């Protein structure tokens, strides 16, 4: 099911022949999973070192918690937190590709031009900052286009779909066309599990994940320790590792190019087994 893909990172073309593990670093005090929160340089450094040791391919760093009910912070505070996190990250891992999780064009500009980030990961898919698409085009950076309706505070009011898979694919397709017209060459699509989706709709999306291959872009899946797991099973995020691995494995068999995770070792092992399965199919 895996389709090789390429990304232009800072003028160099990189080709990927297996799914990539994207590790989560939150320089926030209030992300939904407490195990991912790192606010101090020493904590950030330890987290990044252990991720590299466990086999991370990409790192996704965010300074604005998008969980429902999280505090809004100013762009200045977001940039300040990101600068601290990126300085530690680049000190330890100058070469590893880094995406910055932000929906603000000004923050995206600072992250790429001043902090050494490679990719912009926008949970709002361009809806919360109308300048984002043009900014990404100007920065000549890959862009992760996620599906969400409303804002992190209001998104769960916008879960009415005719057919969640078809509607999300259609919405991403329209935005993809706008990005192409703006001049953005590399786009990764993210169905937005947990964002403006009911529990049932999250599972419908996973079941129909193959439909996203019609967009002809790498597909990123982020379900790690999310409420689609915890609420469905009646557990808390700390106990959600095994079911996360199960869903990531399913996502890989349905064509995911990236799995975005809190737990690197287990995700890297999942990808390794998937690759063995894939190579046995081609013999």
Crossing angle of helices 199-207/241-253, nearest 10°? 40
Q: Is the CB of residue 51 less than 8 Å from the CB of residue 85?
A: no
Distance, in Å, from the CA atom of 56 to the CA atom of 280, rounded to the nearest integer, reads 24
DSSP string, 230-268: HHHHT--GGG-HHHHHHHHHHHHHTT-SEEEES-HHHHH
Q: Residue 171 and residue 74: Cα distance in Å, rounded?
A: 28
Question: Active site residue: 81, 225, 226, 254, which one?
Answer: 226
Cross-strand bridge partners of residue 15: 6
Helices (H), 95-163: 105-113, 132-139
Distance, in Å, from the CA atom of 27 to the CA atom of 41, rounded to the nearest integer, reads 10
- Cα separation of 281 and 283, whole Å? 6
Tokens of 8: 């232009």
Measured CA to CA, the distance from residue 21 to residue 74 in angstroms comes to 30
CB distance 137 to 183 below 8 Å: yes
Q: Six-digit token pair at 217?
A: 């872009």
Q: Which residue in the block uniquely carries the two structure tokens 């953005």?
A: 184
First and final C-alpha spacing in the chain: 15
Catalytic (active site) residue 178: no
**Residue 260 among the catalytic residues:** yes
CB 143 within 8 A of CB 55: no
Q: Please list the active-site residues.
A: 226, 260
């Amino acid at each position: 099911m895996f389709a090789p893909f390429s990304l232009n990172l800072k003028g160099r073309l990189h080709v990927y022949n297996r799914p990539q593990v994207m590790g989560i670093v939150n320089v926030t005090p209030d992300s939904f999973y407490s195990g991912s929160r790192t606010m101090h340089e020493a904590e950030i450094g330890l987290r990044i070192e252990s991720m590299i040791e466990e086999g991370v391919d990409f790192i996704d760093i965010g300074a604005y918690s998008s969980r429902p009910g999280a505090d809004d912070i100013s762009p200045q505070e977001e940039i300040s937190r990101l600068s601290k996190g990126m300085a530690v990250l680049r000190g330890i891992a100058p070469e590893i590709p880094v995406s910055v999780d932000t929906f603000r064009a000004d923050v995206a500009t600072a992250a790429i031009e001043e902090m050494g980030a490679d990719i912009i990961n926008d949970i709002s898919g361009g809806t919360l900052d109308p300048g984002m698409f043009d900014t990404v085009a100007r920065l000549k950076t890959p862009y992760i286009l996620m599906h969400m309706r409303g804002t992190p505070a209001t998104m769960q009011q916008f879960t009415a779909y005719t057919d969640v898979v078809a509607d999300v694919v259609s919405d991403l397709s329209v935005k993809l066309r706008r990005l192409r017209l703006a001049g953005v060459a590399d786009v990764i699509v993210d169905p937005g599990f947990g964002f403006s989706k009911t529990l049932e709709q999250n599972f419908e999306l996973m079941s129909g994940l193959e439909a996203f291959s019609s967009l002809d872009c790498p597909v990123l899946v982020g379900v790690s320790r999310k409420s689609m797991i915890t609420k469905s099973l009646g557990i808390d995020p700390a106990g959600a590792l095994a079911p996360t691995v199960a869903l990531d494995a399913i996502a890989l068999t349905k064509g995911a190019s990236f799995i975005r995770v809190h737990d690197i070792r287990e995700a890297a092992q999942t990808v390794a087994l998937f690759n063995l399965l894939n190579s046995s199919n081609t013999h």
